[in-house]
Structures are given as structure tokens and as C-alpha cells.
Structure 1
Amino acid sequence: MKDHIDYDINQTLPTYGDHRPLWPIFGEYRFVPPQRWLHNVEHGAIIMIYHPCAHPMMIDKLKQLVTNCIRKHIITPDSYRLDSERPLALIAWGCQIRMNFVHSNEIINFIRKHALNGPEGKLSKEGQYDLNLIQKAMIPIGSNYDDDILCPFSFR
């Protein structure tokens, strides 16, 4: 814990890299730093980051899509890595999408294509870290603990 973890200055939203050994329990937080949630990404999670000044309706819409698509998610605000032009972001292993407006089909496609792709993406084990946890993730209706069906509410 005394070791400082740095990320590439050109990659303000890291999508892989060094991280802390204990990863967060899947769910929504008051705040989780990337040193923690990057471990979740390695385990195949989708990370939803939003700037606290983003429009509440857009935050809620994105949050609904994420929570109804995949159990393995982390939702956290972050005012340092996002700006007012694109205050919303999703992160998966090796990729990210930033946005200022939530396009449901684009979000669903991103999750279906990139979720569970980390090196340990099929590992369903829950994390241990829960500092600032607001709401533990639930299994989306129509899926299971292993997230075998991503975004089950959207048939395509």
C-alpha cells in the first residue's frame, strides 16, 4: 500500500495496468480510485465513471443500462479524469468509450463486445474492498452470477 502507482500521463483513463491486490466488491461507490477498479477490469468488469457535474438524467440513464447489463460493474464519480465536454465514460479491458450523451445501443454494443474480456474475465469471484460502497451490484434479471447473458433486457 505504500507503493505509489502511476499511469501513463497520456492515458487519463487507464484500461489496464498496475493495481492494488484487493479489488472492490462490484457495485456503486461514492468514489473508487483507478488503483482499485483496474483490478476489476482485469476480472472482466465494466467501469462506469462520471463527472459529478454531468447532467443527472444522463448519469441515471447510463447507470440503468450498466446495472441491467452486467453484475460485474463498478460505478464511481471522478472529477479529475473527465471533463465537461465528455463527462461520462465506460472502461473495459484495453478499451474505453467517453460520451456526453447516452446512446443506448452504443452502450449495449460496447458492453456486449468488451465485458468479461480481461485476463481473468471469466472469474466470477467477488472483490473484498468496500470502502465508500453505496450499493452492491445485483444480478441483472434474465442473467446469472457469472453474467452469462449480457444485457438480457435487450434482444438482438
Structure 2
Amino acid sequence: MCIITFSGTHRPLWPRYGEYKFVPRQRWVHNLEATPLALVTWGCRLTMSSVQPSIVKNFIKQHGLQGPEKVSRDGQYDLGLKDPAKIITDIDDSVLCPGS
């Protein structure tokens, strides 16, 4: 198994936010072990075999917006992007999990 770190130095062009059919290994933040749902934040990950919305929301609220780069722009890499993510609060995602 190839382990790719989920913190530290990383590729300068990250994938645009959204759903992908495929993302090359060198663009992964960490080896996600092919689980149906994987959430990745700076220095943390959550994988689940079935979606549990309350756990997902708690993970996002606890670990979101903790990376060293405070940039609001989307990624530049989009090869294989199926469905781009939409902005649901503001460009800075200042409200995590709105409406929950």
C-alpha cells in the first residue's frame, strides 16, 4: 500500500471542489482506502462504509478551516471533475454546515 501524507508539503495545484470519477495518486491528500465516503481536512481524515450525517457534520465543524493556507479560491486541477461543488455560504465558507 502506498501511503501519502495528509499534512506537510503538497502539490501546488489541488483539485477543484466537487465529485470526481478519478483523481491521480499524486493529487491525493492521503490514501483513502476506497471507502464509500472519505472526508479529508488538514491533518485529519474520516472514512465511513455508510454515510452518517450527524458524524459528518460534527467532523466538518470540528476540523474544517484548520489548514495553514487561508485561501478562498477554488483549486485549479479539474481533470475528471464530474460535478463541481457550489458555494453555499460565502466565498470564505465562514459558516460550516449551515442549517444544521
TM-score tier, shorter chain, comes to: 0.7 to 0.9
How do residues 3-152 of structure 1 correspond to structure 2 at under 5 angstroms?
A: 9=2, 12=3, 14-38=5-29, 81-82=32-33, 87-120=36-69, 122-140=70-88, 143-152=89-98
**Number of aligned pairs?**
100
DSSP-derived class of the 1:89 partner:
strand
Between structure 1 and structure 2, the one with the greater Rg is: 1
**Structure whose residues are more often helix by fraction:** 1
Unaligned runs of 5+ in 2: none
Q: Is the Cα–Cα contact under 8 Å of residues 14 and 34 in structure 1 kept in the other structure?
A: no
Three-state SS of the structure 1 residue aligned to 2:33 is: coil
Structure 1 unaligned regions, length at least 5: 1-7, 39-46, 48-79
TM-score, length of structure 2 as denominator length: 0.80
Structure 1: 4+ residue segments shifted above 4 A? none
Task: Give the % identical residues.
Answer: 49
In 2: Cα distance, 1:16 partner to 1:87 partner = 22
Q: What is the root-mean-square deviation in Å for CA atoms of aligned residues?
A: 2.5
CA displacement 1:6-65 (0-9 Å, x = unmatched)? xx95xx463224432222222221111353243xxxxxxxx9xxxxxxxxxxxxxxxxxx
SS state of the match for residue 126, structure 1? coil
